[in-house]
């Protein structure tokens, strides 16, 4: 099993976040846009998730609790 050094990676990200100029509450207008959400089109990602779950060996990542079909 090849575990990649993910925990150090996560920590590096947090630290990177800290070292940047902090985003002020009034600067969140862009982040509030629907297109900036992590999953802006849940139906598309749900359907894609289903397709790739049934066609590929790898699954998961963006969220948990996918699957649920006999297609794999």
Partner 1 sequence: MQLKHDKGALRRTLALAACALAGGSHPASAASQPWSLDSAVLFYNEVDRVSVVEPVVFAKRELADGGSLGLHGLFDTMSGASPNGAVASNRTQTFTSPSGNSTYSAAPGATPMRSFRDQRLGVGLDWMHPLGRLLRSNLSATLSSETDYFSLGLGDTLSLDSADRLTTWSLGAALSLDQVQAEGGAPDALTLLSAPATAGGGGDESKTVTELQLGLTQVLTRSALLQANLAVAQHSGYLTDPYKILSVVDASGATVDYRYEKRPDSRQSQVAYIKWVQHLDEDVFHLSYRYYSDDWGIDAHTLELNYRYELGGGRYLMPHIRAYTQTAADFHRYFLVQGEALPSAASADLRLGAMDGRTLGLKYAVPAAHGGELSLRVEWLQQSGEGHPAEAFGTLRSYDLYPTLNAYIVQFGYSTPL
Partner 2 sequence: MSRPTPHARARLTRQGGGWVGHFTAFGSPCELHVDHPEERRARRLLRLASEEAWRIEAKYSRYRDDSLLTRIHRAGPRGVRLDAESVALIDLAERLYHLSAGRFDISAGVLRRAWRFDGSACVPSHAEVEALRPLVGWDKVSWHAPRLALGEGMEIDLGGLGKEYAVDRALALLCAEAPGTPLLVNFGGDLCVSGPRADASAWRVGLDDPAQSGAAGLATLALSHGALATSGDARRYLLRDGVRYGHILDATSGWPVQGAPRAVSVHAATCLEAGMLATLAMLRGAEAGEFLREQGARHWLVP
For residues 66 and 60, is the Cβ–Cβ distance under 8 A?
Answer: yes
Q: For residues 53 and 72, give the distance between their C-alpha atoms in angstroms, rounded to a whole number.
A: 7
Q: How far is the CB of 31 from partner 2 (least distance, A)?
A: 10
Residue 2, interface with partner 1 (CB under 8 A)?
Answer: yes
Contact set with partner 2 (CB under 8 A): 24-27, 29, 32-35
From the list partner 2, partner 1, none, pick the one residue 21 interacts with, judged by a Cβ distance below 5 to 8 Å according to partner type. partner 1
The answer to whether 72 and 53 have CB atoms below 8 angstroms apart is: yes
Length of the chain: 72
Say how far apart CA 39 and CA 25 lie, in whole Å. 22
Under the rule (CB under 8 A), what is the footprint of partner 1?
1-4, 6-7, 9-10, 13-14, 16-17, 20-23, 27-28, 30-33, 35-36, 38, 40-44, 46-47, 50-52, 55-65, 67-70, 72
């Amino acid at each position: 099993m090849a575990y990649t050094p993910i925990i150090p990676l996560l920590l590096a990200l947090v630290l990177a976040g800290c070292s940047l100029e902090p985003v002020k509450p009034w600067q969140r207008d862009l982040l509030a846009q629907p297109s900036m959400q992590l999953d802006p089109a849940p139906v598309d990602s749900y359907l894609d998730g289903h397709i790739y779950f049934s066609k590929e060996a790898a699954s998961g990542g963006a969220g948990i609790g996918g699957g649920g079909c006999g297609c794999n």
